[in-house]
Chains A and B, each alone.
Chain A
Amino acid sequence: MTEQKYNDVAALKEQPNVPCPPAKDLHPLMKEPLVRMTKRGVVTTKHKAVVYVVGFFLALLVGALMLLAVGKNPLIAYRDMAVGSFGTAIASAETVRIAVPLLIASVAVGFAFKMKFWNIGAEGQILAGAVACSYIVIHSINNGNYIPKLPLHLIMVIFAMIGGAWFGFIPAFFKTQWGTNETLYTLMLNYIAIQYIVYLQSLRTWQDPRSSYPKIVDFSTFTEGKVELPRLFGVHVGWIFALIIAIIAYFYLTKTKHGFEISVVGDSMNTARYAGMNTRWIQIRTLLISGALCGFVGYLQVAGANHTLTETAAGGVGFTAITVAWLAKLNPFVMIPISIFIAMLQKGSLFIQSTMRIPASVADLLTGLILFFMLGCEFFIEYKLIFRRKRNVSRLEQKEVTV
């Protein structure tokens, strides 16, 4: 009896040891779960591209369904968005003007994210930069507008970058010193920056003397246009800086010792310590850079776009930049087209707001949908779903549904 059972196993083993799929499939009585996921092995670039393209179109499709639900023709809406953002030279210039701060801010948060330092305070850092450079302008105005144009801009840039860097330094210092949570910290600093501007609006030296409403003076009028950035191809020259920053950032992250340190700290803090890196300084240094870039955005908003300081100077750029950085997988080069695309959505939605009376928040909706689907793509790149198969069908005919 014993031997016989023992031999059973031996007999089973005698069957040719074929790799799966094996000689026998799942027993008919064995109920498979309805859906289960398994890891894919090798992922080809082609497969990745297909998943992303499908994900992108699915996002547009869901967006279209939502437009249909409110009774608008989605095809016309999408066409108008394209026309409204790139149909004319003026529209294109406006789109690029939206993309410029977005691109720089994305690069800035990308630096911190690469280190797994969740800096969601770009908004506040932008405002800090805007406040700092506005201070120079206000100072100049109140003292007889004495600073000439070029030095004015140089000082403004320096002040803006110091202002932004300061707002990057504070959370980094507290995190490295006492382990505070940088996400909450940077988020809260945003509100401090906003409320500080609200305070400045009613400050006698900053307020517009011609307005009883709390509002900061128009820099353009009071400096006789000195504060305005020159234009190139219809957009203020900030776009050139943005491109240069993206390119430098790419090389900084991939080719320099600093960039290498950022990668290692982001990957494993202990490994960085093991390699003798000064992890505290690396984090602070990177946040100084990240904050300074955001501060530079603040300068561009003041000198290039608004010519004054308002609490909406950042206008959500700091948050949208997080989306752009993720969609670009933290690659500064990829951030260029993505920030232009997001700007296109925003500009296009303003256009259809007037032509089709669709609220401009459709841009946020679409951005959210695209982000949602792109993040979903990650899952389908790494895993595949296997649905329960039908019984009594030869294995070759069975479908393995893969998305």
Chain B
Amino acid sequence: MQDAKPAINENVVQMQHICKSFGTVQALSDVHFELRRGEILSLLGENGSGKTTLMNILAGIYFPDAGDIFVNGKHVTIRQPKDAFDLNIGMVHQHFKLVEVFSAAENIVLGLPGKTTINRRALYKHVQEIADQYGFEIDPEKKVYDMSVSEKQTVEIIKALYRGADILILDEPTAVLTPQETDKLFEIMRAMKADQKSIILITHKLNEVLAVSDRVTVLRKGEYIDTVYTKDATIQSLTDMMVGHSVSLAIDRPTTTNVEPILMVQSLTALNQEGAKALDDVTFEANGGEILGIAGISGSGQRELCEAIAGLCPVIGGSILYRNIVDGYEVDENVIGLNPYKIAKKGIALAFVPEDRLGMGLAPSLDMVDNIMLKHYRENKGFFVDRKTPRQIAERLVEELQIVTPDVFTPIRQLSGGNVQKILVGREIDTSPRLLMVAYPVRGLDINSSYTIYNLLNEQKEKGTAVIFVGEDLDVLMEISDRILVMSGGRVTGIVDPRVTSKQEIGLLMLGQSIVM
């Protein structure tokens, strides 16, 4: 009787006693996981908790050191991604795996067995059918390079569905979306759930967990903590499970006096590395004693804005005036056309924590001392470098910021993301800047490290530094910033006060809809 009709809460995936290590790092130890038919399950954990590793095992990318996997009650071996496809498991990775010069439909069928020719018309129709069924918006003929991030994500999801996925793994899908796009994705997820598909949502954003999922499985440092019903959970209870102890989630926004402009950007227009216009007529002021948040979908010109101010991005118009103090007088200096060395030589105390830490701010194969020396190596006279001073700074930073490293002579690429970021932020703050730019400073960091960074930024603000904070988490930006500048397509679509603005309003600005304030 029961065999004829599957029970509603039937387990489609069961993973038991899963272990996986990378070198000496135990990424997963004895982890359990269950997914039921027709549910949305959130897999929650901080960075490094093993949630992506666990799902990569299910998707056939890694092979576990030990443990059992059951799919639809059958014991299975998943040795390669193809095995996972055959079991109707599809994964959408955080970093999309699409061929840029192919169209959406071409990417969807790429790698599937078939004849040497493709019937494009039938293919487009099939893709369109899947899209209509769940409410996706897609143009099957559009090339990937013409797509927005959200469209690329749609292609990835349809790719999985086209291959017949009943079990869909989404790895941090909302990290790149605006609030509106996120809501839309959640609607689609609910539609798929109604169609008896099972969805795993890997995330560390708690409000999303509460908004969309039925149950939550929490991992911490590679260990299974618990699985709870979402309806019984709160943000605080989930955080405590995720971190392992009670944490205060409030971010301070200290009030400061003496708020006065330090940086004045006027009609700034700049090109990106490909030579396309990345900044268009950007005008704003950054004040000392204030945190200016910069919000926007990734790729809206935030990177170029920071790099233009730091002297790393070619500017074709406008001005960047920096209020410098020379011999006790305030002088507005235009830094356009100067490289970072010349800017520093003018006595402008500018610190910059770029988005791509290991690619731009730091030299990953070099040790901590050399990385700290990066900014100081010209200061001593003579032909030889002086490693004594940076070594002292390095040892002080290790102590002050509790950086975990064997010693200051270990290549920093061997350190964890949080420690790498502490080194970078620590080095920049150590130069006592008057203008501090940080781009995505907590990306990839655990909660404790994130709060260390927030506190450091607030400390700088209280010292009278002008802080520019480019962020992706709107909730954090709205809590910590004094003003938020929203960018869309290289333009400033609004500068708002987070105390009185709603998240939806910022979302609209991110999509490029200027509102007259």
- Chain A interface residues toward B at CB < 8 A: 1-2, 5-6, 8-10, 12-13, 15, 17-27, 29-33, 36, 38-42, 255-260, 263-264, 267-268, 270-278
Contacts and interface: CB of A to CB of B under 8 A. Distances in A.
B339 interface: yes
15 contacts: A12-B17, A13-B226, A22-B19, A26-B67, A29-B75, A31-B77, A260-B370, A260-B385, A268-B358, A271-B374, A274-B352, A276-B339, A276-B341, A276-B343, A278-B339
Contacts of A6: 227
B164 interface: no
A281 B387 CA distance: 24
Contact of A2 (B9, B24, B66, B339): B9
A273 B11 CA distance: 54
B227 A276 contact: no
Given A13-B224, A22-B66, A274-B310, 6 more contacts: A26-B66, A29-B75, A33-B63, A263-B365, A267-B365, A276-B342
Interface residues of B, number: 61
Q: Which residue among A2, A42, A274 has the maximum number of chain B CB atoms within 10 Å of its CB? A: A274
B97 interface: no
B29 A17 contact: yes
Which 6 residue pairs of A and B lie closest in terms of their CB atoms, listed nearest first?
A41-B24, A276-B341, A41-B23, A276-B340, A20-B19, A267-B363
Given A21-B66, A39-B23, A268-B364, A263 B385 contact: no
Nearest to A11: B32
Contacts of B361: 271, 274
Interface stretch (B166-174, B291-299, B376-384, B415-423): B376-384
Given A20-B21, A30-B75, A38-B22, A271 B362 contact: yes
Nearest to B312: A273
A272 B378 CA distance: 13
Contact of B19 (A15, A21, A256): A21
Contacts of B34: 5, 8-9
Contacts of A260: 370, 373, 377, 385
B412 to A, nearest CB: 10
B9 to A, nearest CB: 5
A271 B384 contact: no
A39 B26 CA distance: 12
B340 A275 contact: yes
A30 to B, nearest CB: 5
Contact of B17 (A24, A32, A40, A263): A24
Nearest to A33: B79
B354 interface: yes
A138 B226 CA distance: 86
Given A5-B9, A268-B364, A25 B66 contact: yes
Contacts of B21: 20, 38
A257 B63 contact: no
A32 B63 contact: yes
A40 B375 CA distance: 34
Contact of A27 (B65, B68, B364, B373): B68
B345 to A, nearest CB: 9
B517 interface: no
A282 to B, nearest CB: 12
B470 to A, nearest CB: 16
Contact of A264 (B23, B36, B363): B363
Nearest to B36: A5
Nearest to B80: A33
A270 B360 contact: yes
B118 interface: no
A19 B384 CA distance: 49
Contacts of A257: 377-378, 383-385
Contacts of B377: 257, 260
Given A9-B32, A30-B68, A1 B9 contact: yes
B32 A13 contact: yes
B191 interface: no
A24 B25 CA distance: 20
Interface string B24-53: 111001101010100000000000000000
B422 to A, nearest CB: 17
Interface in B225-281: 226-227
A256 B65 CA distance: 47
B223 interface: yes
Interface in B43-96: 63-69, 75, 77, 79
A125 to B, nearest CB: 25
Contacts of B32: 9, 12-13
Contacts of B19: 20-22
B366 interface: yes
Given A13-B226, A20-B66, A29-B75, A268 B360 contact: yes
A239 B19 CA distance: 57
A39 B22 contact: yes
Nearest to B378: A257
Nearest to A12: B32
B63 A12 contact: no
A245 to B, nearest CB: 17
A275 B428 CA distance: 12
Nearest to B10: A5
Given A260-B373, A263-B363, A23 B23 contact: no
Nearest to B354: A274
Contact of A263 (B79, B342, B366): B366
A260 B379 CA distance: 14
B16 interface: yes
A256 B360 CA distance: 22
A8 B360 CA distance: 48
B363 to A, nearest CB: 4
B374 A264 contact: yes
B112 interface: no
A38 B27 CA distance: 13
Contact of B63 (A36, A267, A275, A277): A36
B213 to A, nearest CB: 15
Given A20-B21, A273-B340, A12 B66 contact: no
Contacts of A9: 32, 34, 227
A221 to B, nearest CB: 44
B7 interface: yes
B430 interface: no
A266 B366 CA distance: 11
A300 to B, nearest CB: 27
Given A255-B384, A257-B384, A41 B25 contact: yes
A121 to B, nearest CB: 25
Contacts of B374: 264, 271, 275
B27 to A, nearest CB: 10
Contact of B341 (A21, A26, A42, A277): A277
B359 interface: yes
Contacts of B344: 276
A268 B363 contact: yes
A275 B16 CA distance: 49
A9 B70 CA distance: 14
B359 A256 contact: no
Contact of A274 (B11, B77, B226, B360): B360
B63 A22 contact: no
A5 B385 contact: no
Given A9-B32, A260-B373, A20 B227 contact: no
B385 A267 contact: no
Contacts of A33: 63, 79
B129 interface: no
Interface in B300-325: 310-312
Contacts of B339: 273, 276, 278
Contacts of A22: 17, 19, 29-30, 66-67
Contacts of B223: 17
Contacts of A13: 32, 224, 226
